[in-house]
């Protein structure tokens, strides 16, 4: 899409150099082994200033992203076709065979095309799908954060601090302190596909291993406002800080995990299928073991499904928000994907959040009401949503993968499900629709039991971290684990 690049390149260039330098310094300082600050191969932008219909420059300054979906804007991705091409296929030539104009061509065959005048994107997608050079073909579209969709905004109560962030009720509810005595997530890369992040926020500084910006097409994934109401909802850059908040929750849950900040949504909380697909591809290629996707759309995407399946085959745990519909319908994607773990939100009393989506597609629940986390401007603010619940599960997966590097997604999720606290009694009207229950990080990281089929060597793995200063915490953990005995023996649940 032309807007994301052409419209913003001029202003980005002015500030990109020092920001990119900051990213590189952060990455170099925080990660000796992985320095994934560039994509596997450069994303290529075709016809950056030309309208495919008219062949003349049409983008107003600042881009045309201010056109709402369905508004018929010249650059609306709903009018494009997104295609995953087989390896080695020339994207330009392929498009010519269909009279279509190549718009973008990301490295591993992820492409978008404009149909020829008079052809609908669905018709073109259907024609292309029959081609043996095509892996997936579909109309392009937007994904967005659940909070952006339902207009749930961050709240600054003036009490934000590193301390109130660290010691918040949600951390206590899922036993984070006890869990972190066993594992802090060292050696695990968690990719956060979101609006980007404020990389030098105190909660994130030193934890960012790299990233990429698929919205602006540069190496700096800073969550950046553009002063434009890109999604046409009357609010400008309303989702700014979303990715920072989500990243802060992962950092609070798995403080020694390293973060890959992948910007796939703009500051209005919206990004197209190509951006999200490219972000997943990038995360797979750069060693992520966990991918957090606090975003969704109302129809499935073949391209994204294909990549989620690849991620799972690579042992990667993909975690997504269940959605903020407060109902069991509609079901968002990728929450509905069998390759992603969908997370619903509960409050501090283990009652389902009024806004949470629920249903048989939910794998697990986690705190998602009034969660305090990082926000732009170095702040710590409260935000509610299933977008906030998902990163607790992503962080817990990182804790487990640090201790059990060979575990695959199924093993990680079996453990999280087997140790979850059932919510059915407190939420009888949603029995069976909140997944295996609420995440219990302390129980999940307790030494026993291990899922069947686990390498016996791993059973002897000692806890990675013990602090003599935290004996009281250890004792409370052991007491609570003992009290929790029966839940540890519940049968394992399949996802």
By annotation, the residues acting in catalysis are 194, 242, 387
Q: Count interface residues toward Ca ion (CB under 5 A).
A: 14
- Exposed, middle or buried, 135 (CB in 10 Å: 0-12/13-18/19+)? middle
**Sign of the four-CA dihedral 121, 125, 128, 134:** positive
Residue 294 sits in the site that holds Ca ion (CB under 5 A): no
Residue 218 sits in the site that holds Ca ion (CB under 5 A): yes
| Contact of 373 with 249, CB cutoff 8 Å | yes
Residue 235 sits in the site that holds Ca ion (CB under 5 A): yes
Contact string 253-282 vs Ca ion (x = CB under 5 A) = --------------xx--------------
Residue 228 sits in the site that holds Ca ion (CB under 5 A): yes
Closer by beta carbon to Ca ion, 213 or else 312: 213
Question: What are the CA-CA distances from residue 183 to residues 188, 397, 405, 442, 485 (Å)?
Answer: 11, 11, 12, 10, 21
d(CA 435, CA 424): 10
Contact string 332-371 vs Ca ion (x = CB under 5 A) = ----------------------------------------
Residue 119 sits in the site that holds Ca ion (CB under 5 A): no
What is the smallest separation between the CB atom of 213 and Ca ion, expressed in angstroms? Answer: 4
| Contact of 375 with 355, CB cutoff 8 Å | no
What is the smallest separation between the CB atom of 22 and Ca ion, expressed in angstroms? Answer: 11
Look at residue 216 and give its three-state secondary structure. coil
What is the smallest separation between the CB atom of 325 and Ca ion, expressed in angstroms? Answer: 20
What is the DSSP code (8-state) at residue 188? -
| Among candidate residues 410, 393, 392, 412, the one with its CA nearest the CA of residue 402 | 412
Closer by beta carbon to Ca ion, 64 or else 176: 64
Residue 237 sits in the site that holds Ca ion (CB under 5 A): yes
Closer by beta carbon to Ca ion, 13 or else 471: 13
Residue 441 sits in the site that holds Ca ion (CB under 5 A): no
Look at residue 225 and give its three-state secondary structure. coil
d(CA 62, CA 106): 23
What is the DSSP code (8-state) at residue 422? P
Residue from 226, 332, 438, 440 binding Ca ion (CB under 5 A):
226
Closer by beta carbon to Ca ion, 213 or else 347: 213
Q: Is 72 left (phi over 0), alpha (psi -120 to 50) or beta?
A: left
**Shortest Cβ contact with Ca ion: which residue?**
213
Contact string 178-217 vs Ca ion (x = CB under 5 A) = -----------------------------------x--x-
Residue from 66, 104, 137, 230 binding Ca ion (CB under 5 A):
230
Query: Who contacts 457 (Cβ-Cβ below 8 Å, separation ≥6)?
Result: none
| Among candidate residues 395, 391, 400, the one with its CA nearest the CA of residue 418 | 400
What is the smallest separation between the CB atom of 65 and Ca ion, expressed in angstroms? Answer: 7
Closer by beta carbon to Ca ion, 119 or else 233: 233
Closer by beta carbon to Ca ion, 128 or else 215: 215
Where does this chain bind Ca ion (CB under 5 A)? 213, 216, 218, 220, 226, 228-231, 233, 235, 237, 267-268
């Amino acid at each position: 899409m032309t807007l994301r690049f052409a419209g913003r390149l001029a202003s980005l260039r002015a500030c990109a150099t020092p920001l990119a330098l900051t990213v590189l310094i952060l990455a170099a300082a925080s990660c000796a082994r992985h320095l994934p600050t560039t994509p596997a191969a450069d994303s290529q932008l075709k016809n950056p200033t030309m309208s495919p219909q008219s062949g003349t420059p049409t983008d107003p300054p600042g881009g045309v992203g201010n056109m709402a979906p369905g508004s018929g804007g010249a650059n609306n991705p709903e009018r494009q076709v997104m295609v995953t091409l087989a390896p080695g296929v020339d994207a330009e030539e392929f498009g010519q065979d269909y009279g279509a104009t190549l718009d973008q061509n990301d490295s591993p065959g992820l492409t978008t095309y404009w149909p020829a005048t008079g052809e609908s994107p669905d018709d073109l997608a259907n024609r292309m799908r029959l081609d043996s050079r095509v892996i997936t073909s579909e109309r392009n579209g937007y994904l967005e954060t659940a909070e952006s969709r339902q207009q749930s905004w961050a709240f600054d109560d003036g009490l934000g601090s590193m301390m109130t962030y660290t010691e918040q009720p949600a951390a206590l509810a899922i036993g984070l302190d006890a869990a972190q005595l066993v594992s802090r997530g060292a050696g695990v890369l968690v990719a956060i596909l979101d609006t980007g992040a404020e990389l030098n926020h105190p909660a994130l500084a030193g934890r960012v291993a790299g990233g990429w910006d698929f919205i602006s097409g540069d190496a700096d994934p800073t969550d950046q406002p553009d002063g434009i109401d890109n999604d046409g909802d009357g609010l400008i850059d309303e989702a700014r800080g979303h990715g920072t908040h989500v990243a802060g929750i992962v950092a609070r849950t798995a403080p020694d995990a390293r973060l890959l900040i992948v910007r796939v949504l703009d500051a209005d909380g919206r990004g197209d299928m190509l951006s999200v697909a490219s972000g997943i591809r990038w995360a797979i290629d750069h060693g992520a073991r966990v991918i957090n996707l606090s975003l969704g759309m109302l129809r499935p995407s073949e391209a994204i499904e294909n990549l989620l399946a690849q991620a799972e085959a690579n042992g990667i745990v993909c975690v997504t928000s269940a959605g903020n519909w407060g109902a069991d319908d509609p079901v968002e994607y990728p929450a509905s994907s069998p390759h992603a773990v969908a997370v619903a939100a509960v409050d501090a009393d283990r009652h389902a959040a009024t806004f949470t989506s629920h249903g048989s597609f939910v794998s697990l629940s986690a705190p998602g009401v009034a969660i305090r986390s990082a926000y732009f401007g170095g702040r710590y603010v409260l935000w509610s949503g299933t977008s906030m619940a998902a990163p607790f599960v992503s962080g817990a997966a990182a804790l487990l993968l640090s201790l059990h590097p060979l575990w695959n997604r199924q093993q990680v999720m079996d453990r999280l499900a087997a140790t979850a606290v059932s919510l059915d009694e407190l939420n009888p009207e949603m029995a069976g629709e909140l997944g295996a229950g609420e995440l219990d990080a302390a129980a999940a990281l307790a030494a026993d039991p291990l899922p069947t089929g686990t390498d016996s060597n791993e059973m002897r793995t000692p806890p990675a971290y013990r602090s003599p200063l935290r004996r009281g915490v250890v004792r409370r953990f052991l007491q609570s684990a003992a009290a929790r005995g029966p839940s540890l023996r519940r049968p394992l649940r399949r996802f």
